[in-house]
Chain A
Amino acid sequence: MGASPSVSIAIIGSGGAGALTTGDCLLEAASTAGWHGLFTRTLGPQIRGGEAAALLRLAVHPVDCLPDEFDLLIGIDWLNAHRFGAEIKAGPRTLVISDPRGGDLPPMVTQAGARIVEIPMKEMAKAIRDGRPNMISLGIASRLLGFTVEQAFAPIAKRLADKGPGAIEASLAGIKAGFGAASGIDLGVQLTAPQPTSARRWLLSGNEATALGAIRGGIRFAAAYPITPATEILEWLAPGLTRIGGVLLQAEDELAAINMIIGSSYGGTPALTATSGPGLSLMIEAIGLATSAEIPVVIVDVMRGGPSTGIPTKSEQADLNIAVYGLHGDAPHLVLAPQSVSDCMFTTQWATYLAETLQAPAIVLSDQFMGQSRAAIERPADVAFIGARNTATEISESYKRYAKVAGGVSPMAIPGARGGQYTADGLTHTERGIPTSGAVDHLAQLDKRRDKLEQFNFGDHWASMEGNGDLAVITWGSLTGAVREAVGRAAADGVKVRIVAPRLIAPVQPERFAKALTGVKRILVVEQTHSGQFHRYLRAHYDLPAPVRVFHRPGPLPITAGEIHRAIMNWS
């Protein structure tokens, strides 16, 4: 049995079988013991019932992508499991645990040449008073992964604390039964023991990380309209903001949400909204207003498959164009993209800081994959990016809200400040904010808004840059994790690759980008869109100094490290 730095597990069941609970408990047990992990749930379109699968990867290192193939696949039952066929890959090394009464094995199992071991999970559960087959599966997985019964039981005991001793006993009995049933079965790989650490792991989704990053950056007001897959940001922020004296308003629609946050920010309270593609489309007009009136706001777009209603529960990177180019007029603004669950916190905090500092709207492009995945991570470091707006304090008679100043960021009077009265406006305006259609004022304010973004020093956080190979993979967003893994495999094959993954999408950074690509011989662009939006964006703004290939495809299936690795090896 070989040691492996990472092991992956998929648990499938029909609605109510509890596969997701098993996945959640395994992640918590592993992270308590010191491993890192990533847990993605995948569901049919039903609100309740229907099929569900828990996809889990545990490792000694941070995990930012799912595996190409699963080491362990547990089918509590196989009803409708074929729907996950494209998503859950099995292979000859996969161990499949199947309930003989769980229905016909799906083609993804029968065609994989996988080892199949039958364990009657449903029957075993029936033998336990109030027993549930997912607890049997938890016991089986725990044994195969090398956890103790106690480690497997702790998370479930916490969850059932208010359900009474009967439920807790039933679960413990189920785990023990599964543990026993897995005795003598060899998974084929052994998860390497984690490095001892005194730091307590954090367990959170990218959406929760986004919300906490926003608060760390200074956000104290949020307004939003519910939308999949962004809603978890709001559901954590609603009580979270209240605890620190902030407010969340549920708006009547996205048009209201964006305007509410502009109102809050105009009044001096840093503000955020969170949405997905359809909502971003509705917000675009008012984001232009925030650009013109120079009101800092943060808009998080948790991207899903598009266009239109698209695939609400699956990831894609196809909102890049609308985020960068969607505003009418020449409307410079900030666009940022986090690269992992953990980075959702940093990037949202940084976006808040930048919006406040530069008095401009910031769009944060997260996506469904990292937004709704739960990860076991180390506590993200505290960073000093806390929004500090240049406000007008000592206001003289000659105060001009939109004065041309060095750097372009003019002091903003906050309502209540005597003598600072001005009318914020979406109309072209003078330095005082008075509407005008004059050419000189129009140009002056366009220049001002461009210069404040272009002249700002964004520092090293603008991109992740790793390695120095002469093949550069340029990617962005949540794909960075899969690219990093693919590049690691290429290194094992003797191919050196560098990664350039911009976190700051707009304003563009041509000098930094050119420096990052110094000496490259080949370029591979990797993105999850149908039309190659990121490639076109790169072509529009940057000099790509070597032959370029593009690996891109749409959702809903996540792009795997294996696919990227093949693209790298074909270009080496």
Chain B
Amino acid sequence: MSSIVTNLACKPGDYKSDIKPIWCPGCGDYHVLMSFTRAFAQLGLQSEKIAVISGIGCSSRIPAYTNCYGFHGVHGRSLALAAGLKVTRPDLTVVVASGDGDGYSIGGNHFLHACRRNIDMTYVVMDNHIYGMTKGQPSPTTEPEFDTALAPGGTGVRPFHPLVVALASGANFIARCFSGEPNETADVLVEAIKHPGFSFVEILSPCVTFRPDEKAWKDLVRPAPVTATGDQGKAARRLMTDDGFNLGILYRGNRAPFKPAVEPTTTDLSELEKDFEL
């Protein structure tokens, strides 16, 4: 995050737009939106200095529901679009919003490389283990036995483990939240935005329409019994062995963020032309 102008008078409502969300009643994403606006207010950011970038899916509708600059792009490519923006506009706070289909399936490759590249931005994935917008197909985080019309009897395919992948790929900050705890989630988002480099926040966000079973998540989640580590080996063991319901900041690295050299050595284009003059 950069150039934070602290303004304690900011209220979450200042970051909300007047557009009514298309989400189903009871969708976890309403709470994620609440966490976004609370985090921005806590940080006292100017809304016009925030860019919320997304792809396609229920989660990706979030930019227009904020009063920030937003980009609702094509499916799966939000991290790439955000990279181009942040590298050329380091003064902006860039938050990328995605879902388990957008982020882990069609956008999976960009996830790996965004972690590697470690550009200073925050990546929020609202994970509901299902494709909601297309009405209930299995996503990379859907349990193998979960029955759907597209995969009757279940996919039989092992779920993707986003936090482990993020750690292995070089993400600098890894956290898990639950949408039903918007205050705690907002606090984690504040830390994620403040942390230099690529911060990854997975938010378990139930789909009440296609995964009513996920209403039980509120009884399964718990604060992680340990504090964040900066040790990758320790983090790997924790992430590999947890049951997916430990919440909080799980890894906090100190890798220097990507910073291209943008100090010009010349503004005179004829200097460049000398490359070609005989």
Contacts and interface: CB of A to CB of B under 8 A. Distances in A.
A247 B70 contact: no
B110 A256 contact: yes
Contacts of A240: 272, 275
A415 B278 contact: no
A422 B64 CA distance: 7
Interface stretch (A214-222, A318-326, A354-362, A453-461): A214-222
Interface residues of A, number: 65
Contacts of B207: none
Given A202-B278, A204-B276, A423-B72, A245 B264 contact: yes
Given A212-B272, A415-B48, A255 B88 contact: no
B276 A208 contact: yes
Interface in A248-262: 249, 251-253, 255-257, 259-262
Given A243-B272, A247-B260, A260 B89 contact: no
B265 interface: yes
Given A244-B264, A267-B92, A415-B48, A425 B85 contact: no
A76 interface: no
B141 interface: no
B87 A255 contact: no
Contacts of B47: 421
A379 interface: yes
A424 B63 CA distance: 9
B148 to A, nearest CB: 26
A277 interface: no
Nearest to B88: A269
A202 B276 contact: yes
A224 B260 CA distance: 16
Contacts of A15: none
A223 interface: yes
A262 B81 contact: yes
B272 A267 contact: no
A268 B272 contact: no
Contacts of A435: 64, 72
Contacts of B110: 252, 255-256
Interface string B53-81: 10000000001100111111110111111
A200 B277 CA distance: 7
Contacts of B89: 267-269, 415-416
Contacts of B265: 242-244
B19 A434 contact: yes
A266 B85 contact: yes
A340 to B, nearest CB: 15
Interface in B150-167: none
Main SS of the interface on chain B?
mixed
B278 A263 contact: no
Given A212-B276, A256-B77, A422 B84 contact: no
B12 to A, nearest CB: 16
Contacts of A263: 53, 71, 80-86, 88
Interface-central residue, A246, A252, A265, A379, by most chain B CB under 10 Å: A252
Contacts of B72: 423-427, 435
Nearest to B51: A415
A521 to B, nearest CB: 43
A418 interface: yes
Nearest to B67: A421
A333 interface: no
A201 interface: yes
B262 interface: yes
With a 10 A CB-CB cut-off, give which of A242, A252, A267 has the most chain B CB atoms: A267
A470 interface: no
Contact of A264 (B63, B67, B84): B84
A271 interface: yes
A530 B79 CA distance: 39
Nearest to A295: B71
B48 A416 contact: yes
A376 B63 CA distance: 51
Contacts of B269: 215-216, 244
A416 B81 contact: no
A486 to B, nearest CB: 29
B68 A421 contact: yes
A434 B89 CA distance: 24
A260 B74 contact: no
B87 A244 contact: no
B74 A247 contact: no
Contact of A255 (B68, B77, B85, B276): B77
B149 interface: no
A417 interface: yes
A489 to B, nearest CB: 30
B241 interface: no
A108 to B, nearest CB: 33
B48 A420 contact: yes
Given A243-B266, A261-B84, A435-B64, A426 B271 contact: no
A295 B82 CA distance: 14
Given A256-B113, A424-B72, A435-B64, A415 B267 contact: no
Nearest to B106: A255
A395 to B, nearest CB: 10
Interface string B137-153: 00000000000000000
A260 B81 contact: yes
Most chain A CB neighbours (cut-off 10 Å) among B51, B77, B86, B263: B77
Contacts of B260: 242, 247, 249
A242 B109 contact: no
Given A263-B84, A423-B64, A242 B277 contact: no
Interface in A385-423: 413, 415-423
A368 interface: no
A215 B272 contact: yes
Contact of A245 (B63, B70, B263): B263
A286 interface: yes
Interface of B: 19, 46-49, 51-53, 63-64, 67-74, 76-89, 91-92, 109-110, 112-113, 260-267, 269, 271-273, 275-278
6 contacts: A223-B84, A252-B113, A263-B84, A285-B74, A418-B46, A427-B72
- Which 6 pairs from chain A and chain B are nearest by CB? A263-B84, A245-B264, A423-B70, A260-B84, A256-B80, A263-B85
Given A249-B260, A256-B79, 9 more contacts: A212-B273, A223-B80, A256-B83, A259-B73, A262-B84, A268-B89, A423-B52, A426-B72, A426-B74
Interface of A: 28, 31-32, 200-204, 208, 212, 215-216, 220-221, 223, 236, 240, 242-247, 249, 251-253, 255-257, 259-269, 271, 285-286, 289, 293, 376, 379, 413, 415-427, 433-435
